[in-house]
């Protein structure tokens, strides 16, 4: 396999790790109401065959104020299913129904809970760093096996190793920046 293909595959894997972390961080609770807190909640709707669907596919989710989310179903008959799914999701948010929309009052976080969430944010980032390092390791093994088989000159192999180190540093620093920003967001009152 040519060196540029090996590098491209490694970079794709690293990019996926960053994208995954962004998606995970959307669901991490901060002190403010955000549609990202609930839009991934799986809802089983009996009227639609009972298959689990994401909440964002069934309703409009808005945050009219810092401590309130409003969930307005596209189909009013799904309101009870959505309410049940939100209660079962154990988000620490109790939905209040008026028959047309659900109001989700987002309670303020205690200092201790903020620290727990900050720790969770760091763990999520660390797990994605491992994914990036594994992509680097796999690429370097591929480069070494190509070199050993005689399909890749030694200079290109050395350049490939250096390129993998650069990519790893680049993507790890992206993860660190994301973690620092999210930690700051969680810990500020």
Q: What is the pLDDT of residue 189?
A: 63
Q: Report the distance separating Cα 69 and Cα 71, nearest Å.
A: 7
What confidence category does residue 31 fall into, taking pLDDT thresholds of 50, 70 and 90? low
pTM exceeding 0.75: no
pLDDT above 70: percentage of residues in the chain: 97
Q: What single DSSP character describes residue 109?
A: P
Domains of the chain are 3-26+110-187 (1.10.132.20), 35-105 (3.30.1360.40)
Q: Which of 25-34, 44-53, 69-78, 130-139 has the lowest mean pLDDT?
A: 25-34
Residue 124 Cα distances to 26, 121, 175, angstroms: 12, 5, 10
Q: What is the pLDDT of residue 177?
A: 95
pLDDT digits (tens, 9 = 90+) for 1-11: 788 898 999 99
Q: Report the distance separating Cα 14 and Cα 128, nearest Å.
A: 9
Q: Report the distance separating Cα 121 and Cα 156, nearest Å.
A: 38
Q: Report the distance separating Cα 4 and Cα 41, nearest Å.
A: 39
pLDDT digits (tens, 9 = 90+) for 67-104: 888 989 898 888 888 888 888 877 777 888 888 898 98
């Amino acid at each position: 396999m040519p060196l540029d293909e090996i590098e491209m595959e490694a970079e794709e894997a690293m990019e996926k790790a960053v994208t995954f972390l962004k998606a995970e961080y959307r669901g991490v609770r901060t002190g403010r109401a955000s549609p990202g807190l609930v839009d991934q909640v799986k809802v089983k709707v009996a009227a639609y065959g009972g298959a689990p669907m994401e909440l964002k596919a069934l309703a409009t989710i808005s945050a009219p104020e810092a401590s309130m989310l409003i969930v307005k179903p596209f189909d009013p008959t799904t309101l009870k299913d959505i309410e049940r799914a939100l209660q079962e999701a154990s988000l620490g948010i109790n939905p209040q129904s008026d028959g047309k929309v659900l109001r989700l009052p987002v309670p303020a976080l205690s200092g201790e809970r903020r620290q727990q969430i900050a720790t969770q944010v760091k763990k999520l980032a660390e797990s994605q760093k491992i994914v990036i390092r594994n992509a680097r390791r796999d690429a370097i093994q591929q480069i070494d096996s190509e070199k050993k088989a005689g399909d890749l000159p030694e200079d290109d192999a050395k350049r490939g190793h250096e390129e993998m180190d650069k990519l790893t540093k680049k993507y790890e620093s992206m993860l660190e920046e994301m973690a620092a920003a999210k930690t700051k967001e969680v810990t500020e009152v």
